[in-house]
């Protein structure tokens, strides 16, 4: 039996499986980062023990946003978990469940999940973009997860596109600032949209023809198009798999993205690459955590 834990800024999912991608049981809890890590960890252990019903898992896998130390198994205060400072999550869960525990960032884990079971099946060279509250990338090169020298390859969200702009990865004008859900919400606030507006709210408004929402999504989509053009030219993938937010925002976002991608990328690299939606949908976090438990290599 495998135990997977997908830790997000608002919710955490705990799942068990005998053979991924099948999930035999699942519990979702609020992460509540303002309360610190211990409360969530206690809830993870309680939920995991309930799902396992006395069984000892063969391995535990944890998927979480960066930064983290995948070798030491330590979560290092990701932007959506600022109170989780140097949390030795693997040691704590290994002790609780008497099983080896592995930790991986959610973009890498999601890339492997889509490559094994989703939209990346059959592609030797693939990039997965998380495109949620934040923006990260996992890279599959020659059929294997590419980690780089320190395990940090794929942090495209940290790249700066402009001297000024919305903040992501603690950097103004970064790709995450321009094209993540959190960044789009910042654009809405700067444009004077009233209330606490989310990217999904803007998507609905844009589909209804709201000119301000259309303008915001056009600007964000264009920046994502620039990003994809860089990835296509530098890494020459066969497939780029986009997380669900991009497709939920629809043509007001995707249309500008495609136009800029066509304009900016080399013709030969663009012709070799298709941009497709993630196939695992809302299940991707669960399956990604199980892939971490199995091993990503």
Q: Is the pLDDT of residue 79 over 90?
A: no
- The per-residue pLDDT for 1 is 95
Name the band, by pLDDT with cuts 50, 70 and 90, for residue 80: confident
What residues does each domain of the chain span?
2-108+283-294, 123-278
Hey, do 2-108+283-294 and 123-278 end up sharing a CATH topology, with the first three levels equal? yes
Strand residue runs (E) in the chain: 2-7, 11-17, 25-30, 59-64, 68-69, 74-75, 101-105, 126-129, 137-141, 144-146, 167-168, 171-172, 239-242, 274-277
Task: Kindly report the length of the chain.
Answer: 297
Fold assignment, 123-278:
Nucleotidyltransferase; domain 5 (3.30.420)
Which run of H or of E encompasses 89? helix 89-97
CATH 3.20.20.70 fits 2-108+283-294, yes or no: no
Full-model pTM: 0.93
- The per-residue pLDDT for 244 is 80
- The per-residue pLDDT for 55 is 95
**% of the chain residues with pLDDT over 90:** 88
- The per-residue pLDDT for 145 is 97
- The per-residue pLDDT for 132 is 85
Name the band, by pLDDT with cuts 50, 70 and 90, for residue 174: very high
Mean pLDDT of 142-148: 96
- The per-residue pLDDT for 231 is 98
Name the band, by pLDDT with cuts 50, 70 and 90, for residue 266: very high
The dihedral region occupied by 22, where left means phi > 0, alpha psi between -120 and 50, and beta the remainder, is beta
- The per-residue pLDDT for 110 is 96
Measured CA to CA, the distance from residue 138 to residue 108 in angstroms comes to: 4
- What 8-state DSSP symbol labels residue 272? T
Measured CA to CA, the distance from residue 61 to residue 290 in angstroms comes to: 6
Mean of pLDDT over the chain: 95
**% of the chain residues with pLDDT over 70:** 100
Q: Is the pLDDT of residue 194 over 90?
A: no
Mean pLDDT of 99-106: 96
Q: Is the pLDDT of residue 234 over 80?
A: yes
Q: Is the pLDDT of residue 43 over 90?
A: yes
CA angle in degrees (0–180, nearest 5) for 282-177-13:
25
Name the band, by pLDDT with cuts 50, 70 and 90, for residue 282: confident
Q: Is the pLDDT of residue 9 over 90?
A: no
> Which of the pair, 79 or 118, is modelled with greater confidence?
118
């Amino acid at each position: 039996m495998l135990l997977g834990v997908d830790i997000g800024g608002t919710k955490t999912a705990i799942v068990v499986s005998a053979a991924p991608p099948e999930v035999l049981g699942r519990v979702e809890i609020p992460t509540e980062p303002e309360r610190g890590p211990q409360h969530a960890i206690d809830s993870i252990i309680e939920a995991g023990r309930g799902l396992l019903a006395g069984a000892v898992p063969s391995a535990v896998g944890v998927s979480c946003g960066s930064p983290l130390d995948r070798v030491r198994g330590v979560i290092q205060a990701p932007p959506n978990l600022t109170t989780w400072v140097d949390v030795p999550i693997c040691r704590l869960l290994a002790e609780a469940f008497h099983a080896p525990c592995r930790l991986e960032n959610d973009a890498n884990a999601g890339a492997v999940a889509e490559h094994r079971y989703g939209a990346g099946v059959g592609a030797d060279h693939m990039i997965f973009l998380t495109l949620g509250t934040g923006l990260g990338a996992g890279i599959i090169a020659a059929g294997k997860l590419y980690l780089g020298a320190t395990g940090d390859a794929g942090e495209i969200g940290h790249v700066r596109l402009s001297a000024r702009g919305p903040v992501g990865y603690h950097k103004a004008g970064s790709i995450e600032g321009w094209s993540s859900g959190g960044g789009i919400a910042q654009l809405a606030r700067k444009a004077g949209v009233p209330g606490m507006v989310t990217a999904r709210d803007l998507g609905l408004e844009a589909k209804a023809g709201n000119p301000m929402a259309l303008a915001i999504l056009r600007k964000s989509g264009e920046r994502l198009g620039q990003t994809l053009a860089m990835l296509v030219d530098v890494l020459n993938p066969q497939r780029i798999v986009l997380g669900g937010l991009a497709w939920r925002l629809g043509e007001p976002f995707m249309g500008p993205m495609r136009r800029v991608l066509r304009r900016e990328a080399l013709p030969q690299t663009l012709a070799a690459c298709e941009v497709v939606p993630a196939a695992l949908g809302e299940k991707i976090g669960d399956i990604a955590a199980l892939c971490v438990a199995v091993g990503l290599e």
